[in-house]
Structure formats: C-alpha cells, structure tokens
Amino acid sequence: MNDFLIRGTLADVDPDVAELIRHEHARQLDKLIMIASESYVPAAVREAEGSVFQNIYAEGYPHADMHGLSEAEILDYESQLTFYRRNGDRRYYKGVEYCNLIEALAQRRGAEVFCPPGMTPEELFVNVQPLSGAVANAAIYEALVQPGDTVMTLDLLHGGHLSHGSPVNVTGHRQRIVHYRVNEETELLDYEEIYELAQREQPKMIIAGYTSYPWAPDFHKFRAIADSVGAYLLADIAHTAGMAAAGVYPNPVGVAHVTSFTTHKTMMGPRGAVIITTDPELAKRIDRAVFPGLQGGPNINKIAGMAVMFKLAKTPQFKALQQQIAKNAVALSDGLKANGLRVVHGGTNTHMVLLDCKSIAQHDGVPLMGNVASRILDLIGIVCNRNTIPGDKDAGRPSALRFGTPWVTQRGLKEEDMREIADVIALVLKTAKPYTTPTKKSVAYTARVDFDALMEGVARINALVAKAGRDFDLPHEGYPFVWYAVNGQGPGIGHQGPEDRGRGTEVRDRGSEVASRIEVSGAQAAAFLSVVLGIDVNTLADGAAVTVLGRNRAPLCVATLARTKDGYALDAPANQASRVTQWLRALSDGYVIFDDADLSADIPGPVVVRLVAGRP
C-alpha cells in the first residue's frame, strides 16, 4: 500500500496492549464487581464509542432548529443534509453533518427517556457533551451561581460528592459551601433540619443526589425548600439515572431546575455525563458553560455511544434489569444484617449498600476499617470500595465499604446469590483480627484473617462467578489474579497459571508419596522462606529437609529445599502442594494470620509462588 494508514488489528499492531486488555476483561468477568458506580457497558455501546466519530472535531452544537425534532425527522438524511447545506449549524468546523445528527439523536432519545408525565420531549433541553460528572457539575455551578453565593450540599463524609463543593474541587473554590448532614440517630435525611439550615444560610443553589447515601431523596420536598429561599435545585442522579429512567427511582426532571447524571453507572453507557433542564434560559447558560466555558471539542464518539445507551434504556429488558438491581441491593442489605453486621443508613432502596466495618471485627480495641476490608474482599473476588460514613472524621480513613449491585445483576445474579455474597463477606471478615502499624505521621489500620475462611470465600465466590453470565469467551491462560486457584484443587474454577495448567490430575493421581515442586522467587524469597520455614535458608544446603510452618507455626508440611536460578524450590508431597502453594501466596499477600500473638510480625515479601510440576 502506498499510504501511511496503519492497518491491522490491535493484536497485530500492539500485542502488548491487546494482552493487557484481555487481562482486564478477564478480571472483569472472573470477579464479582460490586463497585456501585460501575457497570458492564454493552458491546454495542462500546462499538459506537470506538467508531470513526472519534476522528472529528465539532466545537459547538447542532443547529438550534434541530431541537424538538422527532427521531424519524432526525434520521431523514435527505432533508437533514439539505437543511445543513443551506443553514449550517452552530459549530466551528465543517464536516459535521452526521455529527449533528448523532448529537441530535442522543439528545432526543435522552429527552424521551427522562420526559416526566405531563411534559413532552420537546420541553426538555439535553446537553450530552460533558466529559464527566464532575465537569457537568462544574458547568452547572458556572451557569447558575455567582462567586460568593452560598451553595448547600450534603457533607462528603455523609454521602455527598467531591463535585458538590468539596474544598479540594473547583466547585468548592468560588462559592460559600454549607453542608447539610444526615440525622445523627436515624442516619437519614431530615427535611426539617435541611429546611431550617436553608432559612439560616439562604443558599442560591441546593444539591440533592448522592454518591454514597443509599436512599432516594424526596425531590419535591427539596424543591419546596429551594423555592422557600429562592434557590435553584440541582438533582445529581449520577448513580441512579438508570433507575430513574426505568421508574424505580424518582425522576427529578421537571421537579429540579437542573438534573445532571453520568452515563456510565446505572445508565450502562459510555463514560460521560448529561445535563437536563426544562428551562430554556437555563439551557442556554448551561450550554455556554459546557462549551466554550469548560470544554473544547466534544467527544462525538461518546455521544454516539450515548445514543445507543438511550435506545437500550427504553427497552423492557432495561426496566427489568433496574428493578432487579434494586431487589438485589435489598437482598444484600438483608443478608448482611442477618449475619449481624451493621448496614449504614438502615438499608437501601437504590443499588447501593454501605457496610460499617467497625461492626464486623475489633481486636484489642482496634476496629476493622474500610481500606483493609476492601483489599481482603478483592482477594476472594469481590471488588468494592472503601467509603466514609457518618461518624468518620477523615475522608482518608473510611470505616465502611460500599457495594453496588448493577454489574452482578447484569450478569444474572439474583436475591439468593446476594445472600450468599453477604454470607461470604461475613464469613471472611468476621475472622479478621485488626491491628495498627506505625506510619510517618500516625498509624495505618490493617488486619489479618483466617486462611481457611479466606480459601472458603474464594471457592464460594468462584462458584458464583461460574454461574454468572459472560458475554465473551476468553481463553483463560494464566491470568495472574486467579492467584489462589492452583492445579484444579481447592478454590478456583479451573483457571490456572500457565505453569499449573494440565498438571492437576497428573499430580493428584500420583498420590502423596511423590513430590510437586513449588518455586518461590523474587528479591525477598530468602527472607520470606526463612520466616515461613523457621530457619535461615542461607544456612541450608540443597536437599535439606524443611518444614513449612502454618498458623502459629504449627507444622504444615515437610518438604525438600533446592535453589533455582531466581530463588528457591520446595519439593512437597503432591497431595499437599496445592494447599501449601495457596498458603505461601496468602502469606506473601499479607492478609492471613501467621502468628496470633504477633499479628504485625513482618513476613518479608512479596514473593512469586509457582506450582511448577509433579516430580517423580
């Protein structure tokens, strides 16, 4: 070819990046993702995002006359192209005739999805250009309030969002921010308190809608409070827009002056955001604030993805999904409570559940905290995030976990599965022994759990993963995060490291009198093994008999030590090798109890542990 176009697939052009994407995809399918703000975006949406709309610049907006066109009118190419040639649009570049259509289509579909009863889609003004929720909210601040105005938002520690006026975000820089909080006893929004605060503080804007408060607010009550002081009401339904679209969460459009939401959470669309208002004057101010106020060229490829997303949001399947998401969150909350754990704010009617880790385990007065709890759950295949809750003093030291049910519901899991997840969370985290370690400025909260409970957790979550739907068959060849699954034994759904593959049966069949080789490598290998074997390995010759120590240094298994080119090898009885491998991997990760009397005893690491082969 006599040109400079780069042809070929990603795998041809850059196999390393292609491989990384495969790893990430496998991670997403082989774990239960319970990050409340994430979802699995359908391939159709991703295809639109990856389209050639990526290639163009389109600063500005479609022609104002396109507002209010029906979908059929927008997709009438002949009429639209003649209109474009004669009238142009509100953009700075040519070459945007199809871009106008895709943006108008996304706007129209968005207006139809969020049109409240008694209104028509033509009465909604939909800006689909914000690149993220934070940018959308910054644009709304820019459009609606002046420097020095007061804005009233929920305290970040109680469930508010960074872009609602946190001092570390631009929305906290130019306005005076006052926070309402949840009621101390009920942990619920208290509308009387919010009303009184509004009377005292006279805000120009009030924000309702949250990032970690699990109950739907009453937007009508908020609007009445806003009206009582002449404030704008902004409804930020970033988390819950999909539920609002499906009618399982109140739709604030037409109640709030402005509604914003991200498109990649329960909407299951591209990463971006939307702003909707029913006020034409506010719409103009918002459009100007987004472009040219805060952004340059819009990502038209994302807008194409949003058009597909809004189409999907109108389907019965989407509605059923959102209903199930809400039911699953209630089942998860009930399951955690049934295990004696404290669900913050008393429960949920959204997609989100907050779990107070302090209620799960304490040891010598040290509570279990969110960060370490999230790391431990990640090890067993539950991905969630640490979160602040009322009572926390510091956003950097949250005492809770936040779980969301969108992704697991998309994969077909139901209420009974949520109860199983709750049981597994309780099983593993109840064995935690929290402790602190000193840091430069204060202490870090950490914890260790029981190895057997951890392994049972891995097995039970893997069973749910095996049951969950997948849209894509990936060849599972040694994705390293399936760290505890070895030789087809113990936890795991059969995904093994490349070195482990195909050898499980062989090793098992040989029985206990033959050995399997476990390699331990990495810079810390000698120091690690010296602790785990209870003897300085530098003093040992190849072929020395050693004892792998278990919890509280009880003998776990006898093995033979050898040196390898990058570390050491333990030849252990074949029928114990999987277990020993899992134990060594868990010790290297650092969250299982080795010594009950000295939880913080440092086990050097990390080390790479491979189960290489059966050896005669």
Closest CB to ligand DSN among 212 and 578? 212
CB of 161 to ligand DSN, least distance (A): 6
Of 529, 532, 507, 511, nearest to 520 by C-alpha is: 529
- Which residues is 151 bridged to in the sheet? 177, 205
Considering just the CA atoms, what is the radius of gyration of the chain in Å?
Answer: 28
Contact 144, 294 (CB under 8 A): no
Instruction: Candidates 37, 263, 266, 516: give the one binding ligand DSN (CB under 6 A).
Output: 37
CB of 387 to ligand DSN, least distance (A): 9
Nearest residue relative to ligand DSN (C-beta):
37
Catalytic residue among 150, 171, 262, 431: 262
Count of residues binding ligand DSN (CB under 6 A)?
4
CA angle (478, 480, 481) in 5-degree steps: 125
Question: Which amino acid appears at position 561 of this protein?
Answer: L
- Which residues is 258 bridged to in the sheet? 234, 277
CB of 239 to ligand DSN, least distance (A): 6
Closest CB to ligand DSN among 157 and 549? 157
Contact 263, 269 (CB under 8 A): yes
Rule CB under 6 A: which of 145-164 touch ligand DSN?
161
Question: Does 262 participate in catalysis according to the annotation?
Answer: yes
Structure-block tokens of residue 30: 């082989």
Type and span of the H or E element at 44: helix 43-49
Residue 80 burial (CB count, 10 A): 21
SS3 category, 288: helix
Structure-block tokens of residue 533: 């074997």
Contact 496, 488 (CB under 8 A): yes
Contact 474, 495 (CB under 8 A): no
CB of 482 to ligand DSN, least distance (A): 26
Contact 447, 591 (CB under 8 A): yes
Torsions phi, psi of 519, nearest 5? -95, 140
Question: Does 392 participate in catalysis according to the annotation?
Answer: no
Closest CB to ligand DSN among 37 and 348? 37
CB of 121 to ligand DSN, least distance (A): 28
Catalytic residue among 27, 57, 123, 563: 57
Query: What whole-number distance in Å separates Cα of residue 60 and Cα of residue 89?
Result: 8
Closest CB to ligand DSN among 371 and 431? 371
CB of 260 to ligand DSN, least distance (A): 11
Torsions phi, psi of 557, nearest 5? -170, 145
Catalytic residue among 236, 334, 420, 571: 236
Question: Does 204 participate in catalysis according to the annotation?
Answer: no
Closest CB to ligand DSN among 387 and 581? 387
Contacts 24+ apart (CB under 8 A), 497-502: 497/610, 497/611, 499/610, 499/611, 499/612, 499/613, 500/610, 500/611, 501/477
Query: What whole-number distance in Å separates Cα of residue 418 and Cα of residue 416?
Result: 5
SS3 category, 20: helix
Catalytic residue among 22, 108, 109, 265: 265
By CB under 6 A, residue 133 contacts ligand DSN: yes
By CB under 6 A, residue 169 contacts ligand DSN: no
CB of 348 to ligand DSN, least distance (A): 15
- Say how many CA atoms lie within 13 Å of 277 toward its Cβ: 19
CB of 37 to ligand DSN, least distance (A): 3
Catalytic residue among 27, 46, 59, 195: 59
Query: What whole-number distance in Å separates Cα of residue 468 and Cα of residue 462?
Result: 10
CB of 204 to ligand DSN, least distance (A): 24
Closest CB to ligand DSN among 213 and 219? 213
Question: Does 16 participate in catalysis according to the annotation?
Answer: no
Torsions phi, psi of 395, nearest 5? -60, -20
Catalytic residue among 90, 271, 337, 510: 271
What lies within 8 Å, CB to CB, of 551 at 6+ separation is 450, 451, 592, 593, 594, 595, 596
Closest CB to ligand DSN among 63 and 161? 161
CB of 113 to ligand DSN, least distance (A): 21
Helix ranges restricted to H, 436-564: 451-467, 504-510, 525-533
Closest CB to ligand DSN among 214 and 252? 214
Contact 225, 206 (CB under 8 A): yes
CB of 199 to ligand DSN, least distance (A): 30
Sign of the alpha-carbon torsion through 163, 168, 172, 177: positive
Closest CB to ligand DSN among 161 and 503? 161
Question: Which amino acid appears at position 553 of this protein?
Answer: R
Question: Does 57 participate in catalysis according to the annotation?
Answer: yes
CA angle (279, 282, 283) in 5-degree steps: 80
Structure-block tokens of residue 153: 């938002």
By CB under 6 A, residue 211 contacts ligand DSN: yes
By CB under 6 A, residue 127 contacts ligand DSN: no
Query: What whole-number distance in Å separates Cα of residue 159 and Cα of residue 125?
Result: 28
By CB under 6 A, residue 172 contacts ligand DSN: no
Closest CB to ligand DSN among 157 and 584? 157
Closest CB to ligand DSN among 211 and 409? 211
What are the residues binding ligand DSN (CB under 6 A)?
A: 37, 133, 161, 211
Indicate which residues carry an active-site annotation: 57, 59, 236, 262, 265, 271
